Amino acid sequence: MLSPAETLAHLITEKFITAAPEAAAKALAGLATHETLILISPLKAQTLITCFNHMEPCKAAAVLRRLPARQGAYVFSRLDVVQAARMMREFSQPYREKLSAALKPEFVALLNQVLAYPASSVGAVMSTDFVSLKTDAKVSDAVERLKTFPRKKIPAVCFVTAKDGQLKGVIRTAEMLFYPHSSALGSVMSGDFASLSAQDSQQKALVLFQQTQSPLLPVVDKSGKLLGVVAVPLQCPAAKAGWFKRLRARFANKK
C-alpha cells in the first residue's frame, strides 16, 4: 500500500504531465532513471503515453524497458510511431526482439518502415498523431472527436479521407464553428492542399511551409493515402504568423 507521501507525489506528477507535458517530461528526464520510474509507473496508461511522447528518446527508452513487460508493450504500442521508432533504436537487440514479439504485426511493420527512412527525410520526423475523419462524417462528429483532446492539444487542422484512407481534403478546426453541425465534412472541406511524401527531404518541407503558410502538412504515399503529418517547425515562425493572419481574414469575410 502506498504511503500518503507517495500518493501525493504520484498525484502531483500526473497533474504536471497533464497540464504541461513537455515541461514535465523534461523535468522527469533530469532525474535518475529509478526515480523517474518510481514517480510514473503507477500512473494511468494515457498519462504515461503523453509523458513518453514528449521525453528524449534515450531517457524514455531507459525508463520504459524497466516497466513490467505487459505494461511497457501496451504503452509503447500507443506512442506516436516516430517517437516509438526513436526509442526502438535505443533498446538492446534482445529487448527489441522481446518487445516486438509482444506488439501487433501491423505496428511492427509500421515501425520498421519509419526506421528505414533516411534521417533527413520527412518520414523520419512525421507524426501519426493527427485527426482524420471520413468524407461522410458530420461536422458534429469532428467536434465530438476534438472534445476528447486537452485544450492545448487540439489540432489546428483535421484531415478528411475516403473509406480507403486516401486524403481528400482538409478543414481547419476553427472553421467548424461556421458550419451547420449536420453538414458532411466532404461538402465543407477544402480540396486545395499541399502534401509531402515520406521520401521528401526535410528541407523541401520547410520550403513548402513557407509557401503555404500552413501549420500542418499531410504526408501521403504514392496512392494518396494519408500516412502522417509534419508540423510547422520552430525555424519557420513566418508560416505560423501567416496562417493566423489568413485565418483571421477568412473569418472577417464570413461576417
Task: Write out pLDDT tens, residues 103-149.
Answer: 999 999 989 988 999 888 998 888 888 999 999 999 999 999 998 88
More confident residue, 215 or 90: 90
The pLDDT of residue 155 is above 70: yes
What is the rounded average pLDDT of the residues 23-49?
Answer: 94
Residue 4 DSSP label: H
User: With pLDDT > 70 as the criterion, what percentage of the chain qualifies?
Assistant: 90
Residue range 158-182, pLDDT digits in tens: 999 999 999 999 999 999 989 999 9
| CA 187/CA 202 separation, integer angstroms | 32
pLDDT of the residue at 1: 65
Residue range 10-33, pLDDT digits in tens: 899 999 999 999 999 999 999 999
**Angle at the Cα of 227 from the Cα atoms of 225 and 231, rounded to 5 degrees:** 125
What is the rounded average pLDDT of the residues 224-232?
Answer: 90
CA neighbor of 26 nearest in space, from 54, 48, 47: 54
Alpha helices in the chain (DSSP H): 4-19, 21-29, 33-40, 45-54, 57-64, 69-76, 81-90, 93-102, 105-116, 139-146, 185-188, 202-212, 237-254
pLDDT band (50, 70, 90) for residue 196: very high
Alpha helices in 103-146 (DSSP H): 105-116, 139-146
pTM (two decimals): 0.68
pLDDT of the residue at 137: 96
The pLDDT of residue 78 is above 70: yes
pLDDT of the residue at 253: 56
Average pLDDT of the chain to the nearest whole number = 88
CA distances from 166 to 107, 132, 223, 225 (A): 20, 11, 7, 4
Residue 92 DSSP label: -
